Copies of this chain bind each other. A is one copy, B any other.
């Protein structure tokens, strides 16, 4: 089929009639599918059940420090868990604090602490007239929600195939003292799947911030979440790059096992410089006597080391890769060459990012919903939920089965076509 933009008004009208008929038929199927959130499917969770068997007797419960993990103490995590999470992030274990089950909670906490107490002695952000964050777009809605909650002004930064537009990042960071941070998902980005190039990481490390308390919020959520064994993205390790560049304190890095073991009951960690960690611990020690060390021990014993975890993640990949491929196959077959949409083909992570014709995303998501397929809300991938082009849609293929994903994507492409035809007819 030829590109929609080359169709005459009559051809478009004919298309519309045919697509509308197909859509009505699709509605009758009564689909009920959810592609809205990056959730593991049950089979992935089943793979982690061994986790619940590693600690059974009282004699199992001491960690490397010789401390009973069931009792109070060790606020910053047990050594073996630090090592495991450090290896996930490719940093030394002494740069790691292991927390509870949610890296999002660590990020919230890190921002909240900066608002009330500043960063390493800086003025608390609540005392400043203006605080801004750079937000690579499309990005992760929950990052944006945290910054918005604290009244932090968000500046969208376009993503390229190599990561955020670094010319813009450098300009804002070096010129504006009210810019205190940037949200990054450096590997298999949410939602684009893009991994930052070495040059991008080096340019991050070499930033010359106007604000002393500027930090890069490096959410390494998909560090070990490869879809393929032979095609993988790897990124430069940011902490050591920053140190080399003379900016040792510029990064807070986050990760978790939420999409490795259990989304509801994993463990999360933060890596940063000794100075940042010392500053963090000053508050942490008031906040809790310690996180769940039994769960930390459980994870460390279960995986033993990074190799154990990577072997586990290969099995995950075998489950979710066919779903990604099912979506991509339908997109290619149905939309290839039509000029009404572009999409990413990620090598890892949890999402496919789809860009519709301008002004079509909301209508597409609404149409899908009308026929029983729930997508992430259009705009969610932008600060304040506002995609200025109304173009980006995040597809989360992991939770439904591959067959369901194919069905859902069949409907999705139908809606993309129908909305695009209607859009073109408005100006034809």
Q: Report A's interface with B, CB cutoff 8 A.
A: 37, 39-40, 42, 45-46, 48-49, 52-53, 55-58, 61, 68-74, 100-102, 104-105, 108, 112, 115-117, 124, 126-127, 142, 145-146, 149-150, 258, 262-265, 283, 286-295
Contact = CB atoms under 8 A, between A and B. Distances in A.
Contact of A72 (B56, B105, B263, B293): B263
A124 B149 CA distance: 13
A53 B53 CA distance: 8
A68 B45 contact: yes
Given A42-B58, A108-B287, A286-B142, A70 B149 contact: no
A291 B102 CA distance: 8
A40 B262 contact: no
Contact of A149 (B42, B58, B283): B283
Given A52-B52, A74-B264, A108-B287, 12 more contacts: A42-B68, A45-B71, A70-B263, A100-B101, A101-B291, A102-B289, A104-B288, A105-B288, A108-B286, A116-B126, A262-B294, A264-B290
Contacts of A72: 37, 39, 258, 263-264
A167 to B, nearest CB: 31
A48 B52 CA distance: 15
A55 B72 CA distance: 24
A263 B48 contact: no
A210 to B, nearest CB: 24
B101 A286 contact: no
A25 to B, nearest CB: 31
Contacts of A100: 100-101, 291-292
A88 B20 CA distance: 58
Contacts of A292: 100-101, 264-265, 292, 295
11 contacts: A37-B72, A40-B71, A48-B70, A52-B55, A71-B262, A101-B291, A104-B288, A116-B126, A262-B294, A264-B294, A265-B292
A56 B53 contact: yes
B70 A286 contact: no
Nearest to A99: B100
Contact of A263 (B52, B71, B105, B263): B71
Given A46-B58, A265-B70, A292-B292, A286 B146 contact: yes
Nearest to A144: B286
Contacts of A57: 49
Nearest to A78: B264
A56 B49 CA distance: 7
Given A108-B288, A264-B293, A286-B108, A52 B45 contact: no
